[in-house]
Amino acid sequence: MVKNTQEQGTRKATASDVAERAGVSKWTVSRAFTEGASISPKALARVRQAAEELGYKPNLLARSLTTRRTNIVGLVVDELGNPNLAMILDEITRQLQRKGYMAMLLNITSEQSYRAAMSLADQFQVDGLIFLGTILSDELLQLARNIGNIPLIVLYRNSDNPDIHVVSTDGYRAGQEIAALMVAEGHRRIGYMAGPPSESTQLRRLDGFRDGLAERGKELALMLGAEHYQREQGYRSLLHYLDTTPREARVEALFCENDILAIGAMEALKVRGEEGSMAIVGFDDIDQAASPCYQLTTYRQPLQVLIGEAIRRLTADEAPSRYLAPGALVLRTSHLRGDQ
């Protein structure tokens, strides 16, 4: 006898309750809630209707014991102060949820935290790890490999490590395009501001930029660095350069490794009363880039495409280990010559 609604309200409905109401076996109920499982349309409709009437939701933790999949994906981050990360997290969590995954955010801003984070990922038996532009050390990669035979995917960076999938914008091509833009604009002395280095991954933007300049008879005239991808770091780096370099010896244009560094650099110029005296180009196309305060020329990454490809590699055994997508220059006004 099927339990009435009042009795059901005192506890959660089970698969057995749904099976009884739908007139099918418990295993048919299980197949109805398993993507790709074999079940007739008629049985599926009966099970889904019974489940809706009873307020039944499948127990994913219990299912993981038999499928050996938790549907938990670890998202590994180390630059939470980067505004671009908010856009990435919004898009990747929405896409994961549509695919039936739950995201576990793992913050690895220090050596102690990444050890704890990898241990947590192991204990929860995550189905994969996606590194969101993370600066990967050899030790961090080893800890990730120790979790077991799960996909390791890095977004927005390149890696030659055979154990990790690369899903990124073609940074080399982007660097070449930005070099071509700056030379065409008439800039002669051109520099680059880099973020923190990584042992195991590269962005390739600098390589493409340097080669693009060389193809046009130019050399990279300046390398500035920042310890983190933070506005303050870009601000301090360029401010120091402005204060220690005579104006006539300075570069005329600067390609910053991402938008938040570029915005910091533009603020340094403004503070010194030299706004517009140096062309600035960023990378990412964050929301602030389009602000009238900056009008930052930048390079937009195909966010939805890259995240979709990263998620596909959680289950696609035959997917290529490397996927590079073209981005697009976004022209505003910050790349223009200051004398125009």
pLDDT of residue 1: 44
pLDDT of residue 87: 92
> Which stretches of the chain drop beneath a pLDDT of 70?
1-10, 35-36, 59-67, 111, 199, 339-340
Q: For residues 308 and 289, is the Cβ–Cβ distance under 8 A?
A: no
pLDDT of residue 62: 60
pLDDT of residue 331: 98
* Distance in angstroms (rounded) separating the CA atoms of residues 113 and 6: 48
pLDDT of residue 6: 44
pLDDT of residue 7: 46
Nearest to 204 by CA among 147, 158, 273, 255: 158
pLDDT of residue 60: 63
* Residues 311, 314, 318: CA angle, nearest 5 degrees: 110
pTM higher than 0.75 for the full model?
Answer: yes
pLDDT of residue 95: 96
Residue 9, φ and ψ in degrees, nearest 5:
-65, -15
Nearest to 169 by CA among 7, 340, 4, 325: 325
3-state DSSP assignment of residue 196: coil
Residue 253, φ and ψ in degrees, nearest 5:
-145, 150
Nearest to 255 by CA among 218, 292, 291: 218
* Distance in angstroms (rounded) separating the CA atoms of residues 299 and 183: 16
pLDDT of residue 2: 47
Domains parsed from the chain with CATH numbers: 5-58 (1.10.260.40), 70-169 (3.40.50.2300), 171-301 (3.40.50.2300)
pLDDT of residue 204: 93
* Distance in angstroms (rounded) separating the CA atoms of residues 7 and 118: 44
pLDDT of residue 83: 87
pLDDT of residue 30: 81
